Amino acid sequence: MNAQHIISQISDTILNGDFCITPEASDSSGQCTEGLSDLISVSIENDVPAPLIATEGLDKPMLEIIDRFKNDDVMFMEMIARAKLTGEARDTLSDHVEDPELLSKGTMLLAAVEGEYHRQGKDIISSLSKGIGFNTIDLGTGVPTGDILDAADEHQPDYIGISASTRATIPELKEITDQISMDRAHENTKVILGGFLAGDDEADALGADFLCQNLDQSIDLLVNLAHSSS
């Protein structure tokens, strides 16, 4: 079985494999045609380069799924389900390589700040970012500012995505953006502000680098960031 044949099988499984999803989009999960993880293992056993598996077998089909969604050819829950499947396949691939960072389009740290417990938008971005190739670290919701900053120091992310839907959280958001902008260790880290507060006025005041007020903006940003890292 040659490399291109294996890559094609992985890609086709992500694009067209059977799956099931739960009614809730934020908790959607699925199973592609049985054997996706096995295909990853077989590709490694046949000495298919891991970067080729990641870019051609995983990243490209997931980006195509997103394009189909934007063109109304794929339903939202199907897109999220396939993103989760691709993320799980990426985990399998990472287990077979010495340095998983080499397969990544960058590290993305996600969190909703303390006092903010709406998780659906963050969970969607978490699934999509991992599906298209980012090393995604999801801290969850209601995360204290200090914990987010500690995680930033530990993981040195390329992007920090923070979300909030209430103005009561502005002090926490401001502390994060100020600390990141002042710390030379994070001079290359970009802050993404998501949620209701991601308006121009708030973003200017907080010093965020990118705004994502809705799903379309979030998807467009993720795809652009993925392409820029290629």
pLDDT of residue 214: 87
6 neighbors 46 (Cβ within 8 angstroms): yes
pLDDT of residue 27: 42
CA distance 70 to 64: 10
Ranges of the chain whose pLDDT falls below 70:
1, 19-34, 200, 202-203, 230
Q: CA 184 → CA 22, 99, 156, 179, distances in Å?
A: 44, 25, 11, 10
pLDDT of residue 116: 81
Domains and CATH numbers, the chain: 3-102 (1.10.1240.10), 104-229 (3.40.50.280)
Q: Where are the alpha helices (DSSP H) in the chain?
A: 3-16, 36-45, 50-52, 60-70, 76-94, 120-131, 145-155, 170-182, 200-206, 215-229
Q: Tell if the pTM clears 0.85, that is, is over it.
A: yes
